[in-house]
Structure 1
Amino acid sequence: MRNKNAVFLSVQALSKRYRPDLPPVFENVGFEIERGEFVCVIGHSGCGKSTILNVLAGLEEASGGYVIMDGKEVSGPSLDRGVVFQGHALMPWLTVEQNIAFAVRSRHPDWSRRQIAEHGARFIEMVGLTAAARKKPSELSGGMKQRVGIARAFSVEPKMLLLDEPFGALDALTRGVIQDELLRICAATHQTVFMITHDVDEAILLADKIFLMSNGPKARIAEIVVNTLPRARTRETIHHDPQFYRIRNHLVDFLVRRSTTIQQRSGDVAELPVTRIVRPGLETGDDTAFVLTA
């Protein structure tokens, strides 16, 4: 049973409506994330995934509900929440080390230039870009730019990292390399992560829990899939575990079929199904994976 004292982020009754004459994009969204958890969110376009992330980041206001992080309500941007978008958003006139130094200086304005440089160098090394530290973004590949973005987010030592499809524009090989880097860094730093992705395999590789959102409007988090594959999983070995395919099939079935049917029958909050636990593979005595359905 979960230790309630471990809850780091609490989201309650969150909703977003852009116009009063239109239904909300999402409503009654609620979930909790424990410190050090890696959560991925999957859902079709238009269900409000990025809007929820922006609300968590303090970049956008919700129409209803609230977000509590580490005992404080989120009411605006903060260095306690690092954000990485699909676009790297680097300053093109600055080198890699200068881009990161800019972020570090915002966290530690009283530090000397040497302290900032030494601190930033740790994170440049962490993402394997020491040799490119003095290059400008125009001299870097797309994958290298995203590594700089990740290093910059980590360099301010946020309490939570928010990733909005950060690898969506990368080729498969580069994407895999950065996934491995992200797993390694998060394991070393015990970083709490909230990540949006459309890639089912990526979610299974990275996440401790996978939030599945129903279709919009009036979208909601319909299921929370608990990833019970060993945490030390790698891209090279994950496909050899039969449990990988049970979880993957469940996620794909949700996206292809159930996300639509759930939306059709949940016109009223009072009609939402009671929480249930599903164990794929139970007929064979395998209960290593389970799903909590809202």
Structure 2
Amino acid sequence: MSSPTLVNVEALAKRYGDATVFDGVNFTLSEGEFVCIIGHSGCGKTTILNVLAGLEQASSGHVFMANREVVGPGLERGVVFQGHALMPWLTVRQNIAFAVRSKWPEWSRAQVDAQVVKYVELVGLAAHLDKKPSQLSGGMKQRVGIARAFAIEPRMLLLDEPFGALDALTRGTIQDELLKICAATKQTVFMITHDVDEAILLADRILLMANGPQARIAEIVVNTMSRDRQRATLHHDPQYYPIRNHLVDFLVERSATLSHGRAPEHPPEVRPGLPQPAEVISFDTHPAIHRSTA
């Protein structure tokens, strides 16, 4: 049985004067689904995330979450940016407690602290609760940012390349922790990444954006690999290389030709004057490609 839809993004567009960054962006997120979006710089990925977060207004279109339109920031959405954005004068405990008290101002000090400890333990930083950010490594700071976002128990978590500045080993460790937390909490996640392997590891679906201007979501790749996949054994799955090759081919070759006004390689039926719908691409175990339109 499929999960209910949590988020609907309808006909989203962003323009600056006469320049259209993206246009006709449509997608959904189901409860508990992990969705990654990939595309070249300038196609508007971060703007889309900021609109979902309520931090920026689209030029046209709508975002609905749980059937209510998103018109500003809210504590039902947690955001983690590439920079950790911790308050340097506060300890780990105090940084996360600040967010928890914002969500539950009526909670006692003991309740707040229990919530803080719970999520700090989940990211493996219990021994560093009372340290300030200056005493932590970059990877530790990012874990604190993730713990803070999870601690307010948002219905949707928004991640803007949160591991982009980290070394490969640290990134892999945090990816594993993120997978564990999401599995335990059934968290809905929307994440920007430039890392193809990261998207394959984490995402249930991968949204591929054509280049700007007039960028659009050209393809939606359904990740049909087992949901309990692990980073160490990912490349042994027979679907891994077909999916990876398809993503790389899109980024290197096809993304530049699939903006609005340019014909897709496998064009769906399109009514004149309407945006081209995204292709939905799924790989089975053989692995053939199944195409449809969203």
So what's the TM-score if we normalise by structure 1?
Answer: 0.92
The answer to whether the 8 A contact 2:220-2:279 is kept is no
Unaligned runs of 5+ in 2: 265-269
Offset from partner CA, 1:217-242 (integer Å, 9 cap, x none):
11010010000000000011101112
The 3-state SS of whatever aligns with 2:258 is helix
Alignment partners' CA distance in 2, 1:96 and 1:197: 26
Deviation, 1:130, is: 0.3
Q: How does 1:271-290 map to 2 (within 5 A)?
A: 278=281, 285-287=286-288, 290=290
Residue of structure 2 aligned with 1:44, choices 40, 43, 47 = 40
Residue of structure 2 aligned with 1:262, choices 258, 263, 273 = 258
Quote the RMSD (CA, aligned, Å). 2.1
Residue of structure 2 aligned with 1:138, choices 115, 125, 134 = 134
The answer to whether the 8 A contact 2:23-2:215 is kept is yes
Q: How many residues align?
A: 287
The answer to whether the 8 A contact 2:209-2:218 is kept is yes
The 3-state SS of whatever aligns with 1:211 is strand
The 3-state SS of whatever aligns with 2:16 is coil
Aligned twin of 1:64: 60
Residues 10, 55 of structure 1: CA spacing in aligned structure 2 closer, same or farther, 3 A cutoff?
same
Offset from partner CA, 1:221-275 (integer Å, 9 cap, x none):
0010000000000011101112100000000000011101112615997475566
Alignment partners' CA distance in 2, 1:76 and 1:273: 29
* More off after superposition, 245-254 vs 270-279: 270-279
Aligned twin of 1:17: 15
* More off after superposition, 190-199 vs 252-261: 252-261
Deviation, 1:18, is: 1.9
The 3-state SS of whatever aligns with 1:90 is coil
* Runs of 4+ that moved beyond 2 A: 266-282, 289-294
1:189 matches 2:190? no
The amino acid across from 2:5 in the alignment is: V
Alignment partners' CA distance in 1, 2:46 and 2:279: 27
Percent identity between matched residues is 65
The amino acid across from 1:265 in the alignment is: R
Unaligned runs of 5+ in 1: none
Alignment partners' CA distance in 2, 1:274 and 1:152: 36
Deviation, 1:23, is: 2.3
Alignment partners' CA distance in 2, 1:112 and 1:291: 53
Residue of structure 1 aligned with 2:176, choices 177, 180, 190 = 180
The answer to whether the 8 A contact 2:62-2:69 is kept is yes
Alignment partners' CA distance in 1, 2:284 and 2:255: 22
The answer to whether the 8 A contact 1:225-1:292 is kept is no
Deviation, 1:286, is: 3.4
Q: Name the one with the larger helix percent.
A: 1
Residue of structure 2 aligned with 1:7, choices 5, 8, 14 = 5
Aligned twin of 1:249: 245
Deviation, 1:276, is: 5.3
Q: How does 1:110-189 map to 2 (within 5 A)?
A: 110-189=106-185
Deviation, 1:279, is: 5.5
Deviation, 1:280, is: 5.3
Residue of structure 2 aligned with 1:214, choices 182, 205, 210 = 210
